[in-house]
Amino acid sequence: MPLKACFCMATVTVQKERTPEREVAQNKVCIVLSKGSLDMVYPAFMIGNTAATMGSEVHIFFTFWGLSVLNKKKVGSLKISPVGNPGMPMPNILGMIPGMTRVATWMLKGKMKKIKMPSIPEMIATSKDLGVHLHACSTTMSMDIIGFPKEELIPEAEDIIGAATFLQLSQGATTLFI
C-alpha cells in the first residue's frame, strides 16, 4: 500500500493546488450583445444561461440593436433577417422583397417550436431565475430610433450602465461579443 498510496496523494495535492486559480479565471462570463435578430439573441442566452448553471457569474450587456431585447414593446417580436444571411435556404436577393423578413421569421419560429425551443421571453425568465445580470447600454438608450424611455425596459433589466462599468465588470472574465 505505502508506495502507491503516497503517489496518489501527491497527485491529488497538486491538482487541488491548481484548481482555485482555474476557478477564478473561469468564473465569470460577460457577453456584449449588439444585434437584435433571433440568430444572435438565442446564442447569447444559451451560452449565458448555461454558464450560470455551471456556477459562473454572468453579465449580458445589451447595446445597439441588442437593446431591443430589453424593450417591453419589442422583445416578443424579434425577427431574423434573410438579407445578408447566405445560410438562408433561398437566393439572397429574394430577401429584399417586402415581407420576406416576416416569412423567414415565421419559418424559423416554426422550426424552433417543433423542437420545443423556449421563446426569447422564456429564455429571459430563465436567465433571471439563474441570476444572470442584464444590463442596458446608456448611450443606446438615448439614441433615436433604437433607444426608448426607461419605462419601457423589461423588469428583468438590472440597470443602465456605460462602457466603463462594463469593462470593470468584465475584468478577468471570458468576454464574448455578439
Whichever of 125 and 167 has its CB closer to other proteins, that residue is 125
Position 90 contacts other proteins (CB under 8 A): no
Q: Which stretch binds other proteins (CB under 8 A): 93-101, 112-120, 137-145, 148-156?
A: 112-120
Candidate list 76, 131, 162, 172; residue touching other proteins; CB under 8 A: 131
Exposure on the CB side of residue 165, measured as CA atoms within 13 A: 14
Position 115 contacts other proteins (CB under 8 A): yes
Site for other proteins in 43-62 (CB under 8 A): 46, 49-50, 53-55
Exposure on the CB side of residue 56, measured as CA atoms within 13 A: 24
Minimum distance from residue 45 beta carbon to other proteins (Å): 9
What is Dmax (Cα atoms) for the chain? 78
Q: Which stretch binds other proteins (CB under 8 A): 32-40, 125-133, 138-146, 149-157?
A: 125-133
Within a 10 A sphere around the Cβ of 79, how many other Cβ atoms?
Answer: 18
Alpha helices in 54-119, H assignment, sequence order? 100-114
The amino acid occupying position 128 is K
d(C-alpha 117, C-alpha 35), whole Å: 20
Minimum distance from residue 11 beta carbon to other proteins (Å): 17
DSSP class of 178: -
Paired strand residues for 62:
33, 136
Give the total of residues touching other proteins (CB under 8 A): 14
Candidate list 116, 149, 151, 164; residue touching other proteins; CB under 8 A: 116
The amino acid occupying position 88 is M
Residues at the interface with other proteins (CB under 8 A): 26, 46, 49-50, 53-55, 115-118, 126, 130-131
